[in-house]
A and B are shown apart, each in its own frame.
Chain A
Amino acid sequence: MLLLLQYAVNGLAAGFVIGLLALSLVMIYRSTRVLSFAQGVIASLATYVYYQMQTVWEWPAVAALPIALIAAAIVGALADLLAMRPLRKADALTRTVATLGIVLVLQVVMRVGWGGQESFVRPLVSGGIRAGDFNVGAQELLTAFVAIAAAGLFGLWTRTSYRGLGLQAIAEDASAARLLGVDPTRASMLAWSIGAVLAALAGILVTPTLVLNPLQMTLIMVTAFGAALLGGFTSLPMALGGGVLIGVVQSVTTGYVNVSGVSEAFGFVAVFAVLVVMRGKRGAVVLPGRSAA
């Protein structure tokens, strides 16, 4: 029983990381209807930048972290500018496929910059807490805190500030939002920047426990799809919660089942299962042309 709980607690950190990635996916999807496959590589890239500053140049984390986040925001904005803006008249599926192009390009950028090696990043904080027979690492706690804080802050910003409300308005009714003055191209860039920052946080926080590897982040990101789907791709808290849930179950499964690839696969099964469940909830009729005469 205790073992189960320990596994569960171990899974929390990974869960919050998945949740952060899910938040970034939801952020971008809500405002642009695009499912960004690039969030995983953006997370990796930001982590490599952070690694460069913190481990190679030995800057203090306090300096390296904000700079890495700003770099991520810039990368996100550039991705939107170069890949999404030219395709703004295309349908959402085409733009989603285009994000795969961003994946390919950024993978090469990382390969060129850091040779594709797996590298070690020092955790932001060390030590831990013992509660009876439990171990909870400080890094895990920090991850949880950051994820919740990020979700809370962005949620609040979306609900109160003009720009944040503008993003939500575009998500709910794009043409009505435009009639009120919201510029969809600027909104898209903003969403991508914020999404990139959230993804960067996920990457930087997870890296000490998970090896730095672009492929790995892409796989975690697919799991994040499942979490985002749980929130219907609109709810930020549910996306975060979904991530935690998936992370915990994955960890528990790894603990008990010793077949290679099972816990990873669980994430993908979760994605598929959520798709099936969500499908059942919605209606069916697909009509061409205008609505009722």
Chain B
Amino acid sequence: MLAVRDIDVFYGRVQALRSVSLEIASGEMVALFGANGAGKTTSLRAISGMLPIIAGEVTFEGKRLNGMSPEAVSGLGIAHIPEGRGIFPHMTVWQNLKMGGYGKRLKTGPLSEQIDRVVTLFPRLKERLGQQAGTMSGGEQQMLAIGRALVGSPRLLLLDEPSHGLAPKIVQEVFALLANLRTEGMGLLVVEQYAAVALAVAERGYVLDRGVVAFAGDAASIASDPSALVGAYLGA
């Protein structure tokens, strides 16, 4: 579904990613680990069009994403939930959800149906439709961000540190929900610093270290021998 091949990405004159390759098949959850500054967020931003790709190629369902603007990429069915969630704090929950359908030919029905579908998944949002998004707790905001992305029925979901600032119990809930999304054929790429919870759910994982893929494999093998992970975070 998504194929990233040997991409180089720069921040100004600093090379943030070097020959990074990864793949996601539909119905698969892939985790991306690494220390701060390793390039995890950069990878997501390169895929969603927020950063230019200097070398290499990104294709999504056969279509080349290089050089496309974030607006255009979003229209192809890729939803990127940035670190910090990117919800609109002064807009209500309902308005935020509506923005999930911006510019998209809503495939399975009108907007109200899509929103209904989403709030069924997130009962807590249902109670708060008229509430200003900025007044909700971190966990609720995360659910809103995911729900908003789901309104547009994306085929690929990019999540940047969904556990950021959340209580462990909520993190479990979020990941359980994400796991269920795979059954609808959605692909998920999850960037996480806290590896354990992601490894429990994902099929495969990549470990980034200073802009390079240091390790790629299935989740079970990373969990049983986390030396690559530990090396990336705390040194050899």
Contacts and interface: CB of A to CB of B under 8 A. Distances in A.
A176 B36 CA distance: 21
Contact of A181 (B50, B89, B104): B104
Q: Is the interface of A mostly helix, strand, loop or mixed?
A: helix
B15 interface: no
Nearest to A164: B95
B116 interface: no
A118 interface: no
Contacts of A179: 48, 50, 70, 74, 79-80, 82, 86
Interface in B58-113: 69-71, 74-75, 79-80, 82, 86-91, 95, 98-104
B90 A172 contact: yes
A173 interface: yes
Contacts of A183: 69, 71
B95 A165 contact: yes
Contacts of B148: 180
B50 A169 contact: no
Contacts of B50: 175, 178-179
Interface string A159-174: 1001001101100110
A162 B80 CA distance: 20
Contacts of B82: 175-176, 179
Q: Is the interface of B mostly helix, strand, loop or mixed?
A: loop
Interface string B9-50: 000000000000000000000000000100000000000101
Interface in A127-170: 159, 162, 165-166, 168-169
Contacts of B88: 168-169, 172-173, 176-177
B91 A181 contact: no
A182 interface: yes
A287 interface: no
A176 B95 contact: no
A118 to B, nearest CB: 43
B70 A178 contact: yes
A53 B90 CA distance: 42
B102 A176 contact: no
A201 to B, nearest CB: 26
Contact of B86 (A162, A175, A181): A175
B91 A172 contact: yes
A166 B70 contact: no
B75 A181 contact: yes
Given A165-B95, A172-B89, A182 B80 contact: no
A182 B102 contact: yes
Interface string B146-157: 001000100000
A178 B36 CA distance: 25
Given A172-B88, A172-B89, A181 B95 contact: no
A181 B90 contact: no
B91 A178 contact: no
B101 to A, nearest CB: 8
24 contacts: A159-B95, A162-B102, A165-B91, A165-B95, A169-B88, A169-B102, A172-B88, A172-B91, A173-B86, A173-B88, A175-B70, A175-B82, A176-B86, A176-B87, A178-B71, A180-B74, A180-B148, A180-B152, A181-B71, A181-B74, A181-B104, A181-B152, A183-B71, A293-B36
7 residue pairs, one from A and one from B, having the closest CB atoms: A176-B86, A181-B103, A181-B74, A178-B70, A172-B88, A181-B102, A183-B71
Given A166-B102, A179-B80, 6 more contacts: A165-B91, A166-B99, A172-B90, A178-B50, A178-B70, A181-B75
